[in-house]
């Protein structure tokens, strides 16, 4: 009796290929393809702006952040306020990428993220020869100043671009992000990071 019920159940079960797929939902984790790695292996970059001078500076940095897929932008200081006009962010990137004001860049360092000071200063490492961290927080000084020693000492690396004289802030951000992009998968862990 038991065996015949089983035979009926088997006969009535449609083959896997005929089954109606469960409804698609962005919240249904079962829809990640089998074999999707659950380990943390994603590379990203963030930007930290030390006391930026003007909304124009920040707008241009946001534009660069959008072009190169930066995860988020942090800034300190009171000179620039979140409500400021983003005249130079014509792509309105500030709606897509979080722009967060904080009192101290040291407080927002994400786990496993390497702080990198970008400054034209003696002892810094030249950007063309630099291997970027898998996850980096690049910190830049203001248009009318530089990163002080305290923040440079806190950063794991200090890099510079070998220019004759310094660039403006947004130009520097673009160069650093372009260098990271151009080096492709050659961050510290190599291709095993996505």
Judged by CB under 6 A, the stretch of 15-23, 67-75, 83-91, 167-175 that binds ligand SAM is: 167-175
* Strand ranges of the sheet holding 72-75, from the earlier edge strand across to the other edge: 99-101, 72-75, 44-49, 135-140, 114-118, 157-160, 125-126
Instruction: Examine residue 134 and tell whether it contacts ligand SAM (CB under 6 A).
Output: no
10 Å CB burial of residue 9 (0-12, 13-18, 19+) is exposed
Instruction: Examine residue 141 and tell whether it contacts ligand SAM (CB under 6 A).
Output: yes
49, two tokens: 């702006």
Q: Select from 97, 105, 147, 151 the one that contacts ligand SAM (CB under 6 A).
A: 147
d(CA 171, CA 71): 19
Judged by CB under 6 A, the stretch of 63-71, 85-93, 99-107, 116-124 that binds ligand SAM is: 116-124
Write the DSSP symbol of residue 21: P
Q: Give 55 or 141: the residue with its C-beta nearer to ligand SAM.
A: 141
Q: Select from 53, 120, 178, 179 the one that contacts ligand SAM (CB under 6 A).
A: 120
Instruction: Examine residue 84 and tell whether it contacts ligand SAM (CB under 6 A).
Output: no
Instruction: Examine residue 64 and tell whether it contacts ligand SAM (CB under 6 A).
Output: no
Q: Select from 66, 79, 108, 143 the one that contacts ligand SAM (CB under 6 A).
A: 143
Output the smallest distance, CB 139 to ligand SAM, in A: 8
Instruction: Examine residue 179 and tell whether it contacts ligand SAM (CB under 6 A).
Output: no
Find the radius of gyration of the CA atoms of the chain. Answer: 24
């Amino acid at each position: 009796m038991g065996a015949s019920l089983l035979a009926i159940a088997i006969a009535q079960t449609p083959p896997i290929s005929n089954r109606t797929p469960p409804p698609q939902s962005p919240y249904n984790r079962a829809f990640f393809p089998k074999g999707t790695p659950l380990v943390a292996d994603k590379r990203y970059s963030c930007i930290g702006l030390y006391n930026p001078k003007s909304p124009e500076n920040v707008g241009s940095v946001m534009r660069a952040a959008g072009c190169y897929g930066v995860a988020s932008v942090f800034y300190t200081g009171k000179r620039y306020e979140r409500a400021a006009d983003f005249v130079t962010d014509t792509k309105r990137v500030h709606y897509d990428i979080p722009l967060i004001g904080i009192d101290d860049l040291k407080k927002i360092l994400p786990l496993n993220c390497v702080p990198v000071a970008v400054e034209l200063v003696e002892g810094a490492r030249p950007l063309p020869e630099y291997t970027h961290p898998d996850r980096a927080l690049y910190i830049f000084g203001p248009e009318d100043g530089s990163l002080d020693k305290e923040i440079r000492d806190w950063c794991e690396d200090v890099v510079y671009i070998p220019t004759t004289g310094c660039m403006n802030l947004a130009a520097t951000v673009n160069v650093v992000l372009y260098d990271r992009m151009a080096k492709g998968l050659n961050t510290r862990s190599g291709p095993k990071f996505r």
